[in-house]
Structure 1
Amino acid sequence: MAAGAPPSSPSPPPPASQQQQQPPFYELVKGSSGLEKVQLRGARGCFAEIYLYGGQVTSWKNDHGEELLFISSKAIFKPPKAIRGGIPICFPQFGAHGNLEQHGFARNRLWTIDDNPPPLPVNPAIKAFVDLILKPSEEDLKIWPHSFEFRLRVALGPTGDLSLTSRIRNTNTDGRSFSYTFAYHTYFSVSDISEVRVEGLETMDYLDNLKGKERFTEQGDAIVFESEIDKVYLAAPSKIAIIDHEKKRTFVVTKEGLPDAVVWNPWDKKAKAMQDFGDGEYKHMLCVEPAAIEKSITLKPGEEWKGRLALSAVPSSYCSGQLDPLKVLQG
C-alpha cells in the first residue's frame, strides 16, 4: 500500500448461493431425434450419457475414450420403441406377462431430472452424477394401477466406475401393496463373443428360457459362448466378471438388492429377425443383467426398495495370468 493511502475495506463475502455453487458435472443436451440426454463428465476424461427417454444410459467411456457399452447401429431413438443397447431399465416386469408390454414400461417413458431427491449416502469423491425420477402417468395407471416414485441416480466414480442406484417407493394411498420384477438390461461391448468368458456363475442354478424355463445347474468352470443363450441365474453372487481375452479387459459387475443375473446373446438367427439390431452385431455384445426375477419384490404403501449396479472395467489378460478372476470376484 502506498504511504498515506486510505486502508482498503475488505470485500463483502459472495452471496450464499454463489458460495455453494460448484462447476456443473453434467450437461443437458439434445440427442438423436431431438430427445434430451444428460452428459456426465468424470475425472480423467471418463464419460457417461443418459437419455431422459427411458432413463437409459447409452454411453460409458473410459479415460482412453473407449466405448464400454454396446448400442446397435440400428437402434431406434423414437418413442415408443425402446433404445437397443446401453442399460435399459426393466420395470415393473422382466419378460412378457399379462397386459404389460415386454420388460415393462420404464424403458420407454420420459423421465425428468429430480432437482430435490431424498438424501442418498454417496462417496464424497463422486461429483459427476445426476438424479432422475419417474412417476406413473394416467395411461400407466390404467395398465398397472399402482402409484409409485422411481428415483434413479447415475454416477461416475473417481476412477471411472459407473453406478446406477434405483429406489422405488410405493405411494399408493389406498393401502394396497404391489409386486414387480426388475432388471438392469446391461449390454456390454466385447471384441468377439467367442473370445469372452463369464466367471462367477459356475455351479449356480439357472432357468433356461430357451427350454421352457426348465431349471438346471451350471456345470462348466466358466460360461463361454458358441450359440444363443438366455438364462436366469438364481441367487447369483454379488460380483460377476466378464473377461474379454482379445481386448485384454475385464468388466466387473457388482450388484446389491438384486439376487439374480440374466445372461443373454441372441446369436445369428434372432439377430437377423430383430428390426433394430444389425445382423452380425451379436458378435460384439453380451448382456449380463443384475435382476430380481424368480421372486418378485413386494412393497407395502410407504415402503422403498433399493437396487444398485456398479460397473468397472480393468485391464487384464486372463490368458497370460495377469488377472486371477477369483481375486476380482472376491476383492
Structure 2
Amino acid sequence: MANVIQDGDGSPRIILSEPIGSTVEVLLYGAQVVSWKNEKREEMLFTTNKALWKPGKPVRGGISICFPQFSNLGSMEQPGFVRNRMWSLDSSPSPLPPANNQSTVDLMLKSTEEDLKSWPHRFELRMRISLSAGKLTVIPRVRNTDSKAFSFTFALCNYLSVSDISEVRVEGLETLDYFDNLLQRERYTEQADAITFDGEIDRVYLYTPTKIAVIDHEKKRTFVLRKEGMPDAAVWNPWDKKAKAIPDFGDEDYKTMLCVDSASLETPIALKPCEEWKGRQELTAVSSSYCSGQLDPRKVLGFK
C-alpha cells in the first residue's frame, strides 16, 4: 500500500507499507528514501539528527540519488542536481511490469530548461521503489530524450544504520582494486579479508560482485546489498574529525552509520538518443547470529 501525505512544512512524502508491518518513507523532493523500518519498527537507514528538513534542502541520510555525476566537476552541484529537484508520480512506468504483490511507488523527473544550463542534455529519470517483507528494492532508469548522445555517472548513496562502526565489517570487496579519495584517488588493491573500520574511509571499489554483505556484530544483523547495472561500490565514513566539519552532521553520527553505495563511476554510462539504461538495487536485512564463527557467512549469503 502507498499513501501520499503532506508534512507540516508542506513537503509531500509517500508512505509504503506491507502486511507484516515494515514501512518505507520517500520524499518527492529528490526522490529520496528517508526511512525503512522493519516489522519490529527498527530503523534500517541512518538519517542525521541535524537534518534540516526544509523545503529545497536535501536530507543527509537514507538513500539518495547521484546523477549525472558523483564527484565535483565544474560548476555543477555536487553530487549532481536531481537530489535538489521536486519529482512527480509516474503514472505510466512502462515497460516495467505492474508492481503486483508489492507496495510500490514510481517517480519521474524530466530535465528542464534550467537544468540544461548546468548539464546540456535532455533526459528522463525514473525510479521505482518497492517494499516487501525484509527487502527494499530500487530500480533507476535513465532515458536519453536528447538529439545527441551523452554519458553520465550514477550512484545510489545508501546510509545504513549500524550499532557501532568499529563492530562492523564488509565482505565481498576483498582482493578488489579501489580508488582512495583520501590519497589523491590513487589506485590500490584491497588486501584485507574483510573491511573493518578504525578511521576515516572514502573509497570506490571497482568491478564489484553483485552481492556485498555489511555485517553488524552487535545487532546480529547483516545487510545484503544486491545490485545490477552498477558495477562499482563506494564506501564512506567520515570518522570524528571530518564529522565535526560537516554542518548537517552530528559530531557523533559517524559511530552509527556507514555508506555503501551502488554506483557506476569509473566507466561512465553512454546513451544514444532514445536509449535507456536500467539499474537495480536490493537491500535485505537478515539475522546474522551465524557470525559467531560456527558457519561461514560467505556460504550463508551465497557468495561464489
- TM-score with structure 2 setting the length: 0.96
Q: What amino acid is aligned across from residue 195 of structure 1 in structure 2?
A: E
Whether contact under 8 Å (1:32, 1:77) holds in the other structure is: no
Which residue of 1 is the match for residue 111 of structure 2? 136
Which residue of 1 is the match for residue 51 of structure 2? 75
Which residue of 2 is the match for residue 243 of structure 1? 215
Partner SS state of residue 277, structure 1: coil
Separation of aligned partners in 1, 2:293 and 2:98: 35
2:135 matched to 1:196?
A: no
Task: Give the CA deviation at 1:324.
Answer: 2.8
Q: 1:94 aligns with which of 70, 73, 78?
A: 70
Separation of aligned partners in 2, 1:91 and 1:31: 26
Which residue of 2 is the match for residue 306 of structure 1? 278
Bigger radius of gyration: 1
Task: Give the CA deviation at 1:76.
Answer: 1.6
Task: Give the CA deviation at 1:138.
Answer: 1.6
Deviation string, structure 1 residues 142-189 (Cα, Å, up to 9, x no partner): 1111111111000012x23000001100001xx311111010000000
Which residue of 1 is the match for residue 303 of structure 2? 330
2:235 matched to 1:263?
A: yes
Question: Structure 2 stretches of 5 or more lacking a match?
Answer: none
Separation of aligned partners in 1, 2:140 and 2:65: 10
Partner SS state of residue 242, structure 1: strand
Separation of aligned partners in 1, 2:98 and 2:12: 26
Partner SS state of residue 280, structure 2: strand
RMSD: 1.4
Tell me the matched-pair count: 303
Separation of aligned partners in 2, 1:235 and 1:191: 29
Q: What amino acid is aligned across from residue 174 of structure 2 in structure 1?
A: E
Whether contact under 8 Å (2:291, 2:297) holds in the other structure is: no
Whether contact under 8 Å (1:43, 1:160) holds in the other structure is: no
Task: Give the CA deviation at 1:79.
Answer: 4.2
Separation of aligned partners in 2, 1:48 and 1:91: 22
Which residue of 1 is the match for residue 259 of structure 2? 287
Q: What amino acid is aligned across from residue 206 of structure 1 in structure 2?
A: Y
Separation of aligned partners in 2, 1:321 and 1:153: 37
Deviation string, structure 1 residues 40-89 (Cα, Å, up to 9, x no partner): 00130011000000000000011111000000000122244321000010
Partner SS state of residue 296, structure 1: strand
Q: More strand per residue: 1 or 2?
A: 2
Moved over 3 A (4+): 121-124
Separation of aligned partners in 2, 1:225 and 1:131: 36
Separation of aligned partners in 1, 2:8 and 2:170: 33
Deviation string, structure 1 residues 240-259 (Cα, Å, up to 9, x no partner): 00000000000000000001
Separation of aligned partners in 2, 1:76 and 1:215: 36
2:145 matched to 1:171?
A: yes
Question: Structure 1 stretches of 5 or more lacking a match?
Answer: 1-24
Whether contact under 8 Å (2:134, 2:286) holds in the other structure is: no
Which residue of 2 is the match for residue 6 of structure 1? none
Q: Percent same amino acid among aligned pairs?
A: 59
Task: Give the CA deviation at 1:320.
Answer: 1.7
Q: What amino acid is aligned across from residue 216 of structure 1 in structure 2?
A: Y
Separation of aligned partners in 2, 1:163 and 1:101: 27
Separation of aligned partners in 1, 2:8 and 2:153: 30
Q: 1:112 aligns with which of 57, 75, 88?
A: 88
Whether contact under 8 Å (1:199, 1:222) holds in the other structure is: yes
Q: What amino acid is aligned across from residue 191 of structure 2 in structure 1?
A: Q
Partner SS state of residue 34, structure 1: coil
Partner SS state of residue 215, structure 1: strand
